[in-house]
């Protein structure tokens, strides 16, 4: 039992020392006050730097729209006042005499929270890069295939990043993740084999979007198939054939096959051979190249190449004609070719020039 005299001596001892010199849980009140002020200053500086940097980036982003600007603003948006408050608290308790167990708890929480913020920021950057990539390379995406591809790729990236971050944080806090990583590695190999075809098509989708050998609306020929590209999905490309049916081809096949893209042509070259009978007078044969040149040059959508009396065929005198259709549209190409063919037939009919057809003359000798 505490005597009155000991209580009085303790009371006098307490007030003999300044208030800030008294110790509680291993630290004086003065040290607690200094740690509190240090934490407040630290928090204010962090918040000030945060809003200053964000304000500067937003100011310049109004003048130059870049992925880096949007990514920085997005990453800054993942940082909140509670994270800054915990950083300030950690800075404050770091200068105090805190038991090792409590200090270990603060360090572990800091590692986990910081890792969480780093992952969030990294995913924001990845989302901005994917968004910019698909906006640039998905022209004519009316059916939203590009958006679904971007979402699917984003899901895969998120899963991989979160698993890697989880293992990394466990390693930092002292957990042996060797066996767990080995198990995940074996499981990853099994999943990779099971999804080999899907992953191959997904990589091919990236190649198609990056190199853009074709895009929706282009008329292409792939092997024995030809038609207009309707959409480029995650796994397949859909083509509307000339006959009307829809052809579905895997993206892996599209990147490994030889693709002819007629939409990329600025003009179409036409090579035609005309055969006239051997009985045609030489004067008319001489006039045919100029006659054909005038017919072709009358059209504004066609560029004349050449016209020559090429050779003596088995059953005809052969005239070779070359001209170019100034359009990559197939209907325009066929209409111009048809009009020129009709004009040549009319001109030959006026000049009484006959087209030749395969004939063979047999001479019979009687003895």
Residue 274 CA to residue 295 CA, distance in Å, equals: 15
**Whether residue 274 sits in one domain with residue 252:** no
Decide if 176 is inside a domain: yes
Say whether pLDDT at 12 is over 50: no
Going from the C-alpha of 127 to that of each of 133, 143, 157, 213, 311, the distances in angstroms are 10, 21, 10, 25, 64
CA dihedral 82, 83, 89, 90 (to 10 degrees): 160
Closest CA to 129 of 76, 67, 74: 67
337 compared with 208, residue with greater pLDDT: 337
Helix/strand/coil (H/E/C) assignment for every residue in 240-280: EECCCCEEEEEHHHHHHCCEEEHHHCCCEEEEEEEEECCCC
Bridge partners (DSSP) listed for residue 307: 321
How far is Cα 44 from Cα 39, in angstroms, rounded to an integer? 9
Q: Is 203 within the bounds of a domain?
A: no
Asked whether residue 130 falls in the same domain as residue 260, the answer is: no
Residues 19 and 145 in one domain: yes
Tell me the average pLDDT of the chain.
76
Mean pLDDT over 183-212 rounds to: 63
- Last residue in a domain, options 264, 287, 304: 264
Helix (H, G, I), strand (E, B) or coil at 330: helix
pTM of the model: 0.44
Residue 205 lies in a domain: no
Domains: count for the chain: 3
Same domain, yes or no: 101 and 133? yes
- 80, 104: one domain: yes
In a domain, 179, yes or no: yes
Residue 362 lies inside a defined structural domain of this protein: no
Residues 38 and 174 placed together within one structural domain of the fold: yes
Residues 106 and 181 in one domain: yes
Same domain, 149 and 298: no
Q: What percent of the chain has pLDDT over 70?
A: 70
Specify the DSSP element, H or E, that contains 229: strand 225-232
pLDDT value, residue 207: 74
Q: Are residues 283 and 324 located together in one domain of the fold?
A: yes
130 with 245, same domain: the answer is no
Does residue 284 have a pLDDT over 80? yes
Q: Which domain holds residue 239?
A: 213-264
- Structure confidence at residue 164 (pLDDT): 75
The residue whose two tokens read 């004939």 is 359
Last residue of a domain, which of 232, 248, 264?
264
Minimal CA–CA distance to 294: which of 304, 285, 281?
304
The pLDDT tens digits of the residues spanning 216-265 come to 888 888 888 888 888 887 778 888 887 888 888 888 888 888 888 877 77
Same domain, 114 and 258: no
Stretch 88-104: mean pLDDT: 76
| Cβ contact 222:257 at 8 Å | yes
Tell me the backbone φ, ψ of residue 17, rounded to 5 degrees.
-90, 150
Same domain for 251 and 307? no
Domain boundary (192, 225, 245) is at 192
Could you tell me if residue 249 is inside a domain?
yes
Whichever domain contains 253, its CATH number is 2.30.30.60
């Amino acid at each position: 039992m505490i005597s009155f005299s000991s209580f009085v001596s303790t009371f006098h001892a307490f007030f003999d020392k300044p208030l800030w010199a008294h110790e509680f849980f291993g630290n004086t009140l003065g040290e607690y006050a200094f740690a509190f002020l240090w934490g407040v200053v630290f928090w204010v500086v962090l918040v000030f730097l945060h809003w200053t940097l964000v304000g500067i980036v937003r100011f310049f982003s109004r003048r130059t729209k870049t992925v880096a600007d949007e990514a920085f603003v997005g990453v800054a948006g993942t940082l909140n006042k509670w994270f800054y408050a915990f950083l300030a608290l950690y800075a404050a308790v770091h200068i105090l005499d805190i038991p090792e167990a409590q200090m270990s708890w603060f360090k572990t929480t800091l590692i986990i929270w910081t890792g969480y913020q780093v992952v969030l920021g990294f995913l924001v950057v990845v989302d901005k890069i994917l968004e910019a990539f698909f906006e640039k390379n998905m022209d004519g995406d009316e059916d939203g295939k590009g958006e679904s591809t971007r979402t699917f790729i984003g899901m895969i990236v998120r899963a991989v990043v979160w698993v890697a971050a989880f293992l990394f944080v466990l390693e930092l806090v002292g957990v042996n993740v060797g066996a767990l990583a080995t198990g995940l590695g074996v499981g990853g190999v099994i999943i990779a084999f099971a999804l080999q075809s899907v992953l191959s098509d997904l990589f091919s989708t990236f190649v198609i979007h990056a190199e853009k050998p074709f895009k929706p609306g282009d008329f292409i020929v792939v092997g024995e198939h030809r038609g207009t590209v309707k959409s480029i999905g995650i796994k397949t490309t859909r083509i509307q054939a000339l006959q009307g049916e829809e052809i579905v081809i895997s993206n892996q096949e599209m990147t490994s096959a030889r693709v002819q893209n007629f939409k990329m042509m600025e003009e179409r070259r036409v090579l035609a051979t005309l055969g006239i009978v051997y009985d045609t007078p030489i004067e008319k044969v001489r006039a045919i190249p100029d006659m054909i040149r005038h017919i072709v040059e009358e059209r504004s959508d066609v560029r004349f190449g050449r016209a020559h009396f090429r050779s003596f065929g088995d059953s005809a005198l052969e005239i070779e004609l070359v001209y170019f259709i100034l359009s990559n549209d197939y209907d325009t190409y066929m209409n111009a070719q048809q009009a020129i063919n009709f004009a040549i037939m009319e001109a030959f009919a006026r000049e009484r020039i006959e087209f030749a057809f395969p004939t063979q003359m047999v001479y019979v000798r009687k003895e």
